[in-house]
Structure 1
């Protein structure tokens, strides 16, 4: 039997930071609209009504990265105290009409930490977060790209297999 990698139920999207790219707000709106459209099509095809409404977004990133800075600006509550606490999972916070939870991949200068936390982060965000007081699945997991040298190459290889796409984000 061929070895099979864990693949989350949520849509996984790789995030690249590029200063000239679209804002994170625009990108999130686009991704969540796409998920809502797919859910509506599934409702029509099966006759079963699925959850609609606000998106649940998981973000896996380094706590000293531009992506974390962008996410922090969008969150309704400050994420910096959580980042300083060395905990892996942030509290669920509001991000406009959506809910957001960050999973720390450590700091950018230590890709080995990201490698150690990759599987746990995907699994935690996909199944173990209490969204609005009740446990349920995440709609979208955004994972920050890390440099693909050394152990980062293995991490990126695994992420590219799990990801449904790659997006570039700039500012908030």
Structure 2
């Protein structure tokens, strides 16, 4: 049986107490963060962390992110922490930034995906922070979705995937950012972007200078994933996804051409875009990259629910949160892009 705790009006001490006890007892709790919903367990309990992988159907070499509530907790999880890490933490925590550092031996290797590094962040959501504080332990939490499916940005998405399969779901309403955290690797000589996310790269570079971008961000296949979302197909609905990139006018024209082509072949077509299109199903992404990020995963899930065969997605400019949006869209499409 799954307990669903309604906290849409804010953190409730009684509900958080129930969920925190479950975490301490090695159980799984789905909870909202500012980015997406996470599927949480005690990060220092290898057996509990292993249950996350089992519940999601997640490959064992895909590392988890440990969520903390105080900056000082970083030293309990990581060693050889550079000054750059403290600067980023002071500036952006709590917030959608994950930092990868050498792991302490006390962190189970099941949590780190078998690596000697650990990914850590402090979420900026009162329910997430309250749960971690009351649990008294770092909480490992990937996105609360079946592995490979679009990430959950509302409790309804978590209920669709996990009701009856985990112990508790905390319903905190829609998440405000909509894409996962930005992941920066600080184990090398220079900061390295492993995954674009809810904190724009431009903001990070204002603090630490030039950040290198890992080739996996734009589709290169990797053998070892130092962060979630690098190695395996992610964010994909059941329908085939096609991303159309180019100038706004050319993209709009190309989308209409593709709609007609697929319909002639007897296929139902869904469109997610920043401008209106006549399709079997349509989802308006918004006017800005921030709105597109907030709506992205809901669009993929809702269009999929209509039973369309193909989803055509409009590409956005890779500035601000646009880099994260395009990373997720390209992964959902298996990096199959149509140029307009």
TM range (shorter): 0.5 to 0.7
Looking at structure 2, the residues matched to 121 and 24 of structure 1 have their Cα atoms a distance apart, in angstroms, of: 17
Larger relative CO (CA 8 A, sep 6+): 1 or 2?
1
Which consecutive aligned stretches of 4+ in structure 1 deviate over 2 angstroms post-superposition?
1-5, 16-33
Match of residue 244 from structure 2:
15
Match of residue 118 from structure 1:
296
Match of residue 106 from structure 1:
286
Match of residue 328 from structure 2:
158
Cα offsets for 1:18-39 (capped at 9, x unmatched): 5678854543455567xx6xxx
Structure 2 CA distance for partners of 1:62 and 1:25, relative to 1, 3 Å: closer
Looking at structure 1, the residues matched to 303 and 263 of structure 2 have their Cα atoms a distance apart, in angstroms, of: 16
Secondary structure at the aligned position of 2:295 is classed as helix
Structure 2 CA distance for partners of 1:116 and 1:27, relative to 1, 3 Å: same
* Deviation for aligned residue 1:101: 1.2
Secondary structure at the aligned position of 1:161 is classed as helix
* Deviation for aligned residue 1:114: 0.4
8 Å CA contact 2:242, 2:338 repeated in 1 = yes
Match of residue 258 from structure 2:
27
Match of residue 59 from structure 1:
271
Cα offsets for 1:29-81 (capped at 9, x unmatched): 55567xx6xxxxxxxxxxxxxxxxx3211100013xxxx3xx3xxx3xxxxxx
Match of residue 149 from structure 1:
319
Looking at structure 2, the residues matched to 25 and 116 of structure 1 have their Cα atoms a distance apart, in angstroms, of: 25
Q: Where do 1:70-81 residues align within 5 Å? A: 71=277, 75=278
Q: Larger C-alpha radius of gyration, 1 or 2?
A: 2
RMSD: 2.6
Looking at structure 2, the residues matched to 104 and 20 of structure 1 have their Cα atoms a distance apart, in angstroms, of: 18
Of 112, 115, 138, the match for 2:308: 138
Normalised by the length of structure 1, the TM-score is 0.53
Match of residue 205 from structure 2:
none
Structure 2 CA distance for partners of 1:23 and 1:5, relative to 1, 3 Å: closer
Cα offsets for 1:92-127 (capped at 9, x unmatched): xxxxxxx521101011xx210100111000000011
Structure 2 CA distance for partners of 1:30 and 1:106, relative to 1, 3 Å: same
Normalised by the length of structure 2, the TM-score is 0.29
Q: Which runs of 5+ in 1 are unaligned?
A: 37-53, 76-98, 130-136
Match of residue 167 from structure 1:
338
Match of residue 95 from structure 1:
none
Structure 2 CA distance for partners of 1:20 and 1:161, relative to 1, 3 Å: closer
